[in-house]
Structure formats: structure tokens, C-alpha cells
Structure 1
Amino acid sequence: MSQAETPQTASASREHVIAVVGAGPRGTSFLERLLAHLDHVPDPVPQMRIVVLDPAAHGPGRVWDPEQSPLYLMNTPASYPTAAPAGETRQELAASAISLSFARWRRTRLGKLDDADYPTRADYGRYLTELHEDAVALLGARDGVEVEARRVQVTRLHRYDDKGQDGEGQDGAARSSRLGSAPCPYRLTCDDGAVLAADAVVLALGHVPARLSDSGQHLAEVAGDLGLHYSPPAIPTDVDVDSIPEGETVLVRGMGLNFFDLMIQLSAGRGGRFRHLPENPPGRRLEYHRSGGEPHLVAGARRGAPYRAKTTAAGFVPAGIRLVHFTDEAVEGAERRHDLLDFAAHLWPLVHRDVLCTYYRTLAAVHPELFPAGPDAFLVSFDELLADPGVGEQVLAVQGQHLLHEHAPDVLWFDIRSLGRPFDDLVFDSADHHRDHMLAYLEDDATTSAAGAASPVKMAIGALHAARMELKALISEGRVSTDSQVAEIEGWFEPLVEGLASGPPLQRIEELAALTRAGVVDFLGPDPVFDVDREARAFTAESPWVATEPVRAHRLVEAMMPANRVQMSCSPLVAGLLEDGLARPKEVVDVSGTARAGKGFDVTETPHRLIDAEGTPLEGVYVLGLQLSSVQWGTAIAAESGGDPRSGARTLADADAAAGSILQSALGG
């Protein structure tokens, strides 16, 4: 192929050219879905050339690199993720010849039969590599289909007019009207200088670099001035952990999943050893032995605590969880009465009732002795209270406490919101006092996780998680008001459910507790303030809730992913799409009626085609994954094996819709 390819030369070959930009999980799913659709097309199939473009390894991408440290674990059990339809998903999305879940691949390729364990990310990368290679091989084996792989970065996407010229600067309506008849209406410029003309473009970009926040930018600039070391948000495999010296104090901002990756790589990854003590209670079952190569990590986050560990109860949503209030019937009834759903007014009351119902039913089953006259009378009265739609959250709490005082006087009211900020209103008179409290918190979290389905707290969180999965479908279908998404879901519900239900496996909490006892990890406290002391030539961090001197360090690591906002993207492609007017952020309106740019691109309904700056959908340009964050929630997670395409397997449904639409266009439909 020539270095520069024009629409005319592509048209002369009568090929339908499909550019897949991004060859990670979503790009791979698109190829597998295209293969499945071709299985139902009678020969001869249309002449197609599929060009897959990604500078990272094709299949795993950067995040799932098979060569990454084996210490990095997935935060879902092996039974959960898939990049191809499996189980009940196949009832709606037809399987291809290569459709198999990660769990099945692990059993057949690695002989690992425990689907409840938490695999390495490298193993998931190997699964994606094989799935991608198989999809490419079977697509390329078809008459009339050619697949080409390029390890390049796409830096620009342009439209052509009907004369085969770059359409920049022309009137948008006139330009769009000619795209239907123009051959290969899109041109992609790559960082190696090549230019590709394409009929269809699939944007499966995944995580892309982003500009720093104001705080991060300030810290980075001062670090440059003072010779300090600042590590910006990044995917874990991009963090230069080898450059961090042993024994040095390192400030860490963020205590989510990236924090656990950093923690384990700078401890076990430096030669330290965890000794297993099975006779000890949960939270104390590991003892850490230093190698001497570890730095001293001092971590902080707004909530003051790390993400909670996942339960050991079976299932991604624990088996036995049943939503009895947040049901399709209840949601449809609210829609009939109110048209558009508001999260705070119509949905959260249902979710909250299922959380409370699950908590107290589990408590009654596990500890009936807490109810002197038996739990049955309480549960009947409590169900009646929960069934009353006229009782708001605050009244529900008061009346619920009255019922507890009558039937179970030693049982406290369960406040799911308080779990998100476990140290609210607690003041610590020293760093040691705070460390002791943190250890007690970690040990309690480990105990409740180890209890599995016998833990009222973890089962209540499981109900919250189950409700989140249903809420994702409602948001994707456009049934929840935008202002309540911005104010309520993004404002407080998303951080709450992420911190409670999206945490690491229990192993990581056990390891963190052991590292804390060994003095490798310490904590700042809630609401930490990260700053710079120019006179001391150091970063500083302190919590207003802990009475101790600020921690000073010459290194600060942001333990988080780059911001997933298209307007903050440093990707030349994403920035260029916005600059050239080929894309715009989806506009969202907050509760005050103020319009602002949302996180993701503005797109059509499924299949999600890009909408340009003038509001015109781009025929043939499809968006998959993270850049759909303004119309979907939870775009970073993999598809659920056997999941409903409306919710858990939404990423597969999106890829399937794009593949079907592109194939229909290639067939002249």
C-alpha cells in the first residue's frame, strides 16, 4: 500500500475499508462481532479491507499487556469478564466460531478451574491476544476479506468532500450532504506519516492521556522548579516504579485500585515476602517480611480509607441477592407517573429499601439471637414500613430505629451512606492513634469480606451493586434525567458505590494490613491537603482530622487513572476531532439549568455514531467504550460473561450494533 492513499484509489478496488482505531478489548470485541455477523451473510461477502491500528499490542492493548507484572490482579473474579458472548448472552447476541469467555479459556488453556479467584491481568491479556489473533485469522480466511494490522497511532481523522479533498472549512450541512455518495469519505493520518482512506471508522480508544487538573498542574510545575518528583495519573503499567528509591518517603494521592497496584509492586515486587498465618482471624492472616528495598508510602484520599474489599460470597453480584423494591415494575410505574426518572426522587428510595431489606434479613438469618422474641415479627413490620412509598429516607430511619428498639434493642440502624466516609467527625490526637484506627478498620473489612454471604454489611453492599447494574441500563437507555445524573449519580452515588462495591479482592486488604503493621504503609487521614513547601523544597500533605505535623516528601504519586473527559484529553486524535468540529462533548444540564460539557462524546443512540459540532451524525464513525461516558455509566468495566446486553454485557451489545451497521452499509443497505 502506498504511503498516501486517496479515495479514488480505494474506490477503484471496490473495497469497503473499515478502520478500527484501538485494538484493545473493545476493538477485539468488534472484530469478533463482525465475524459473527459475517457467518449469517451468504457468499459472496462484500469486498472488505479491515485495518486495525494501535501502537500497543493488538488484543490486550496497554492495560492488559501480557508482559506486565504477575503481581497485578484483576478486580473481578475469573467468572466475570469476557470479550465475546458467552452463556445466556448468546440468546440475544449470536456466537461466532471463536466466542468463549475468559473463564472457559483459562480452564482449557491454563488448566485453572477456580472461577472464583482473581486472576492476573497478564493472563487476561493472553486471553485477549488469542481471541484477537483468532478473529483476525478467521476474518482474513474469508474470500473477499483482508485484514491488516498496523502498530501505529492515529493522530487525525478528517472528512473528504465529493471531489476527494479535505473537507475542513466548508459549510457543515453541505459537507455532510455529500458524504453518502463520496467514496471512502474519511481519511486517517498516522504518526508514521501514512494516510488511510476509509468508509467506516470504529473508535475503540480505551484510556488516553489527559491534561492535569489545576492541582496536578500546580504540583507538576513546582516539582519542576524545585527538583521534586511528581508522577501524574497513569495506568499502572506506565508508572515508573523502578525509579522510586528504597527507604524514601513517598506521598500517594488516591486509595483506589491503582493504589493497591502501586503498594504491591513496591513491596512484594521489591523482594518482600508475605507469610501466611491461617490460624489468625481475618485481617491478621498475613505477616510481611521486609526485603529492605521498600520505600515508605504515606497515602491519602478524601474518604480517608481505601476501597473496601469484595466479598468472598460466590458471584459477581453475590448469589442470593434479590431486588424486591428496585424492580422493572416499580421503575415502569414511576415512569408512567413522572415521564422522566429522577434518581433522588424516584430511584434512590427503591435502591435504599433493597439495601436495608438485604441487610436486616441477612442479620436476622445469621444472628437471630439479637431478636429476643425472634426475628419474624420485626421482619413483617419492617417489610410493611419499606412497602410504604410515602415514607422518605429520614422518616424511614426514625421509624426503623423505633422498630429496632422494640424488637432488637442492641441492633443499630444501618446507614449505607456512612460507609462511604467511615471516619466522619472522628478526630485523632496523633498519627499513631490514626494508624491504630486504620488497622482496626482494615481488620473489620477483612472479617466482613471473609464472612461471605453471612455478612449483613457485604450482602447489603451486594444489593447496592446489583442495583447499580440495573441503573446502568436505565442510564444507557436515556430514561434518567440528565440533571439528576449530574447532581446525584455523579455527585454522590457513584463515589459511594465505587468505594464500597468496586474494590480489590480480600487478599489486597490482608496485604495492606500487614504492610501497615510492618511500617511500609501509613495513612494521612480524611480530606488530606496536598501542597508544596517551597522553603523546605518538599511536597507536603496533612489531614485536618489528625493532630500531627505535615508529612514532607520529595516524591508524590497520583494513584489514579487519567481523567476520562474528552475535553481534557491529550490524545491528538481526540483533541483534533473536537478542534476540527467532527465531534463535540455531549451537553449536560445541571439542577440549576446550567448547560455544560459532559465527560464523553455526543453520540447517537445505538449504534453510537459520532455527532459533529453542528449536530449532524457522522455516517460510518462509531464510538465504543470509555468515550461513551456521557451516555453510559461504568464504561471501563469488561462485559459480564452471560450478562444481559442491556446492562452487564452492554459493551458487547455496542460492538455488535456497530458491526451490524457497518456490514449493512458494505452490503449496500
Structure 2
Amino acid sequence: MESVSNQHEYVIAVVGAGPRGTSFLERLLAHVERCSPGQRRKLRVLVFDPAPHGSGRVWAPQQSPLYLMNTPASFPTAAPSGGTRRSLPASSCSISFLEFCASAGFDDDAASYPTRSQYGTYLAWLNKEASAHLRGRGVSVEHIAEEVTGLVPHNDQYLVETAHAGRTADAVVLAIGHLEADLAAGPAHLAAEAEQHGLHYQGPAIPTTVDYRLFGPGENVLVRGLGLNFFDLMIQVTAGRGGQFRLNQDPAPGQRYTYEPSGKEPHLIAGSRRGTPYRAKTLAPGFVPGGIRLQHLTPQAINTLITNHHQLDFTTHLWPLIEQDVQETYTQYGGSGVFDVIAFAKPFQHQSWASPQEYQHTLIQWLEDDAASSAAGTGSPEKMATNALHAARLEIKKLVAEQSIRQSSLLRDVEGWFEPLVEGLASGPPLQRIEEVAALARAGIVEFLGPEPVYGVDTTQGAFIADSAAVHGARYTAEHMIEAMMPPNRVSQAKSPLVRGMLAQGLATPAVIESGGQAHVHRGFNVTAQPHRLIHADRTAGQIYVLGLQLSSVQWGTAIAAEAGGDTRGSARSLTDADAAAAEITSAAAQGQHLPSVQNAARVQ
């Protein structure tokens, strides 16, 4: 393997050229544009990713136009825009996705739900523009369509290894996004049984990497998961195979479409612990509708709690305030009585059904009701109360990032039950998808398992099986099963040779959270405060910066993008992370400044 180095330049290796890597390039440009070339060493930027640069795999512009984002066009950005620019000055190519849409000929309706390929086109444009503007400022930028397989400390620098060469870098930015992962014990057992009996098992994966052609016309497909990956599967094997959603005349909400099959569709039998899909987003405008005001979970109340308790327990200190805000919002928008948001998230708890047909009827009615509630916008007390919950989530994210919530409570409460609660209620698809799945259920293309379904393999039949104790007589068999979910964002399960190698040599360590007197290995890397750098096994930290999903140890949630005009402490924090890394790296590259030794970096407290 050839080794390439350059002693006269400050070299930055960006590993991952998706949204986070692209945001870093744009933020680096902003810092370069604010200083003269004489104030720093010559910069060289090496950008590594085998996937399309800018979009990465998830947002590839070439993917099916049937895949939609689950945020309106007004939300996402990979560069500062609007009010965010008061804290993070814009670069010469800093625009949001919505601002890009008008110039690209895309739908620029702020409330529309764009395709993922359109957002990928924006990311590819921003990546290309940032690279070109950097070159115009004398920065060398090289895009390398290869996977980084290893990272090794080398003479106060890092050797960045690919299959064909090794490049030396002074600083490394890890923006590696979603990674393939080893299966957990239960799914691994299913996969092994499936292989033994000639069945097809599809584990958690990015939807664009799944070969849905393996599901033949009319074949049963067991699906575990009714979140966003389910809707991708659903649309790709129906409309993606020539089926038509016909618009009904003067339809009631939830009955907007009739589905006309092509005859090529498989039969999807889908389940989740709740028994229902994620609820649709409301048509009330805004990422958080404008009328939502938190009266109890306020900055003043939070500051008082922190003053009195230093670190907070979510269930004791924060959840009561959230419940009050949810209830008052429900009442404000016309709801009567007590709104139990936890019960709302599990509508079929402690219920049973006499037959699968009875359960299908219940689910279709649930879908139609949810669609009607979403279509009502501010006329739905339930949906507006759910948006108060969503607004509270944004405040909790800030507290997690600022380490104001006890680690034990973060693990037990925030990640343990609050996260799935909010995901199912406030992170669902656009209304269109619920209308479509209702039409597919009426057409018999999609069938639902009951709550708390159980999946397995019947070794005598040589088939997958699934049933729900809540639905009498519901037992399904299939030769296919798919986990409709993304790979787990857990560094200790990552298949990536880069991540495995860094963990093995102690260059990286997983975060550990203490709870109940026990140490729990967390999902993300152990990192320093912002700008987040890897903490090595010897508790030192060098010049390896982390952006995105692998920061889950210090940030809660996996937002797909920053919010255009958002708060740099909250919904636009991913831009703050990129900016902080770019600022420190450009400072280190300042002319004549001593570069810290990787092996002798300052000890982390």
C-alpha cells in the first residue's frame, strides 16, 4: 500500500461525505473566508466516501422518487440560514434546502414534503460549491471515492488507510453516518434459522440498500416495524410496481385514495409493539406549529430546577412539567377531560379481538381517524397536544447536550421510554402516507399483526411464523421476513473495519454510563466537550473530531438535518458542531502555531 504525505501543508481528512461531512466543508469555507491566506498554513482537504459525495447513501439523488422526507421543505438545511446566521456567519454558498429549491426548479412550497432524492441533489450541490469556493481561496480539495478502512497514529499525524493507499493527515473529521451493524441476539437467531431452512431474512438496513425485488407477487412478507422504513417498503412494492392510488371524489379524511393493484405486489403482514404505525404529522404549519407555547417547561423553570438540583431526574423534575404543557395545549385547542398522552401512544393496550378480520377493521378505522385528525390541523386537540410534546422534546435535547440530566435518568427515562413515546407520536410520516396505507389495507395488500407480535421460525414447516396473543386465530407464515428499521446506531456493533480497528487499538472507546451501580456501554463514542474529539483508551484526546450519529453519547436523537433558521443550541446544533470543529482545525493550522502531539495530547478531565 502506497503512503502519501506532504510536510508543507496542514492536511484535513474528512471521512464521510454525506450531510455532516458536507456541513463541515461549508463551515470550513466560512472560516477560511474570514481570514487571509497569510494567517494560516496552506490547507489540503481529503474527502473520503465510496458513496456519492454530498448526499451519501441515504440521500442519493439517483434513488426512487417515491421516497419522501418526513419533514416539510421549510425545515432541513446543511448550512446556516435565517436566524442561525446571527451565531454562525454564512459562507459564500450558505443557503437552506428551501432556498435552493427555487433555483433548482423544485416545489418551493414550504409545507410540502420533498423527495429524498431532491434533498440529495441539494446536498450534492452544496458539497460541490463549498469545494469549489475553498479551491478559489487557495485550499486544495481532493474527493476520493474510497472507504477508509483504518486510522493509525503516525509521527504526530494520522495515517488514513484505504484499500489502495495511505494518506497522512494532521486532523481527521469522522462524519460516517449510518453503519451496517451486527445483529442483536434475537435477530441473529432468526437469521441463522432462516439460512438453515432456505428462507429470506432481511435485517435492519438503509432502505436504498434493500433489494425489494426478492419479494415476489402475492408472496407473504412478515414485517417487523411500522415506522418510517415500513412506509418506504410499502410504497416501493406497490406504487413502485405499477399500482395506482386513485383519488376519490369528495373523500372523507382517511378515505382519500382507492388502490388499484398491478398484480405484482407482495402481501405485507406488518406488526409493531403498539400494533399501529407511527401517527401522521399534522397539517398545522410549522416544524412546531406557531400556536404551541410551553407554559411550564420554560427556561426560567428549568434554570430554577438546575440551580436547586444541579443535575435533573427526567421523571421527577421534567416529565410533570411536560404533562402539564401537553394537557393545557389539549384544552386550549378544544379538548375536554384529561388527555393521557401515554395511553394515546398505545391505543390498543389491554384489548383483544375475536379474529384477524376484526383487527383489520379496527386498524383501518384507526388509520382513517388518524388521517382525519392530521387533516384537521389546529382543529385537532390531540395533534396539537402531541406537538406540545414535540416542542418539549426539543428542550430536552438541549438539556441532554448540556449534560443537565443525570446519566442514569438519561438511560432509564429519556432513552428508555420517552424516546419511543415521542417517536411514535411526533416523528411520523406526512399525512399522504397514512392515507395510502389505509387504501392498501382496504385493498388487502397490507395486513396488520396485533400488538406485541411474536416472530419465529417453524422448523417443521420451514417457514417464518408470527402471531399476536391479542388477536384470536391470527397466525401467519411466510418465506420472507424484513426488519423495517435502520441499523442500530451503536459503535460496539458496527461492522465498519474503521470503527472496529479504532476500538481495537484504543484510538476510540464507547461511552459508558453509570446507572444503578452498574456501568452500561452506550451507543456512541466517548468524546470531549464541543468540539467533540475522540477520547482514547488512555484518556487522552488527539485531533480526531466526531460529527453526527456517533455523538449519541452526548446528544439525544438522530435529527436528519439542522433546522433552517434554528437555534444553534437546539435544532441547528449539528451546524454548531461542524463549525466548532472547523474553527479549532483552522486555528491549529494557523501559521507558526505548534501542532499538538497525538500521543501527548492534553489529558481529558
TM-score (norm: length of structure 1):
0.87
TM superposition shift of 1:158: 0.8
Q: Deviations over 1:172-210 (max 9, x none)?
A: xxxxxxxxxx3xx1111112x210110000000000100
In structure 2, what is the Cα distance between the partners aligned to 1:197 and 1:451? 57
User: Per the alignment, in what secondary structure is the counterpart of residue 20 of structure 1?
Assistant: strand
- Matches of 2:334 and 2:537, distance apart in 1: 54
Match of 1:468 among 393, 403, 418: 393
The aligned counterpart of 2:403 is 478
1:599 deviates by: 0.6
1:644 is the counterpart of 2:567 = yes
Q: What's the offset of the Cα at 1:109?
A: 1.4
Counterpart of 1:363 in 2: which secondary structure?
coil
Partner of 2:424: 499
Structure exhibiting the larger radius of gyration computed from Cα positions: 1
Sort the Cα spacing of 1:238 and 1:111 in 2 relative to 1 into closer, same or farther, 3 A: closer
Preserved CA contact (<8 Å) 2:111 2:286: yes
Partner of 2:239: 268
Q: CA deviation at 1:280?
A: 1.5
Q: 1:604 aligns with which of 521, 528, 541?
A: 528
Query: In structure 2, how many angstroms separate the alpha carbons of the residues matched to 1:153 and 1:132?
Result: 18
Cα deviation for residue 549 of structure 1 reads 4.0
Q: Give distance in 2, aligned partners of 1:128 and 1:551.
A: 42
**Post-superposition CA distance 1:272-331 (Å, at most 9, x none):** 000112411111111000000000000011111100000000001111101110011000
Contact 2:449 2:474 in 1 (8 A): no
Structure 2 unaligned regions, length at least 5:
595-605
Q: What residue number does 2:103 align with? A: 108
Q: Tell me which amino acid in the other structure corresponds to 2:36.
A: P
Do structure 1's residue 123 and structure 2's residue 118 form an aligned pair? yes
Q: Which residue of 2 aligns with 1:56?
A: 51
Structure-2 separation of matches of 1:140 and 1:41: 15
Q: 2:159 aligns with which of 159, 166, 187?
A: 187
Q: Which residue pairs with 2:585 in the alignment?
A: 662
Q: Percent identity?
A: 54
**What per-residue deviation string (whole Å, max 9, x for no partner) do you get for residues 145-170 of structure 1?**
1000100000111112xxx4xxxxxx
RMSD (Å), alpha carbons:
1.1
* Secondary structure at 2:334 match in 1: helix
- State the SS of the aligned residue for 1:154: coil
Q: What amino acid is the match of 1:481?
A: R
**Residue 35 (str. 1) matches residue 29 (str. 2):** yes
Whether 2:6 is the aligned partner of 1:10: answer yes
Could you list the runs of 5+ residues in structure 1 that have no partner in the other structure?
Answer: 165-181, 365-410
Matches within 5 A, 1:360-371: 360-363=331-334
User: CA offsets, 1:384-412, max 9 Å, x none?
Assistant: xxxxxxxxxxxxxxxxxxxxxxxxxxx44
Q: Please say if 1:349 is aligned against 2:320.
A: yes
Q: CA deviation at 1:612?
A: 0.7
SS at match of 1:574: helix
- 1:93-492 aligned at under 5 Å gives the runs 93-143=88-138, 145-160=139-154, 164=155, 182=156, 185-191=157-163, 193-363=164-334, 411-492=336-417
Are the equivalent residues in 2 in contact too, given 1:233–1:558 (CA < 8 A)? yes
**Following TM superposition, by how much is the alpha carbon of 1:615 offset from its aligned partner in structure 2, in angstroms?**
1.4
Per-residue CA deviation, residues 95-139 of structure 1 (Å, 9 max, x unaligned), is: 000000000100121152311010000000000000000011111
Identify the match of residue 541 of structure 2 among 617, 631, 655.
617
Q: Secondary structure at the match of 1:318?
A: coil
Aligned runs of 1:16-27 on 2, under 5 Å? 16-27=10-21
Map of 1:547 onto structure 2: 472
Query: What letter matches 1:451 in structure 2?
Result: A
Distance 2:22 2:251 in 1: 44
CA distance in 1, matches of 2:115, 2:575: 22
Deviates more, 1:244-253 or 1:105-114: 105-114
What is the DSSP-based 3-state SS (H/G/I as helix, E as strand, rest coil) of the residue aligned with 1:96?
Answer: coil
Task: Give me the whole-angstrom Cα distance separating, in 1, the residues matched to 2:416 and 2:43.
Answer: 45
Distance in structure 1 (CA, Å) of the matches to 2:69 and 2:558:
16
Native 8 Å contact 2:79 2:575 kept in 1: yes
**Distance in 2, Cα, partners of 1:111 & 1:572:** 39
Aligned-partner residue type, residue 253 of structure 2: P
User: What CA distance in whole angstroms lies between the structure 2 residues aligned with 1:3 and 1:135?
Assistant: 29
The equivalent of 1:71 in structure 2 is 66
Give aligned pairs, total.
591
Q: Deviations over 1:622-643 (max 9, x none)?
A: 0000000111012342100000
Partner amino acid, structure 1, of 2:6: A
Which residue, out of 488, 509, 519, partners 1:595? 519
How far is the alpha carbon of 1:219 from its aligned partner?
1.0
| Equivalent position amino acid for 1:473 in 2 | K
Paired residues of 1:628 and 1:635 also in contact (CA < 8 A): no
* Post-superposition CA distance 1:317-355 (Å, at most 9, x none): 111101110011000001111111111111111111110
Please tell me whether the aligned partners of residues 525 and 551 of structure 2 are also in contact (alpha carbons under 8 angstroms). Answer: yes
User: For residues 503-518 of structure 1, what are the structure 2 equivalents within 5 Å?
Assistant: 503-518=428-443
Q: Which residue type is aligned with residue 562 of structure 2?
A: A
Instruction: Give the deviation of 1:43 after TM superposition.
Output: 3.0
Q: Distance in 1 between matches of 2:315 and 2:433?
A: 34
Is the Cα contact below 8 Å between 2:468 and 2:474 reproduced in 1? no
In 1, Cα distance between equivalents of 2:476 and 2:501: 41
Distance in 2 between residues matched to 1:418 and 1:547, nearest whole Å: 23
Q: TM-score, normalised by structure 2?
A: 0.96
Deviations 1:192-242 (A, max 9, x none): x21011000000000010000111111111111110000111001011011
Say whether residues 1:571 and 2:565 are aligned partners. no
Give the superposition deviation at 1:498. 0.4
Q: Is the 8 A contact 1:26 1:655 kept in 2?
A: yes
- Give me the whole-angstrom Cα distance separating, in 2, the residues matched to 1:653 and 1:339: 25
Matching residue's letter, 1:602? N
2:17 corresponds to which letter in structure 1?
A: A
Query: What is aligned with 2:602?
Result: none
1:84 aligns with 2:48: no
CA contact (8 A) 2:535 2:541 kept: yes
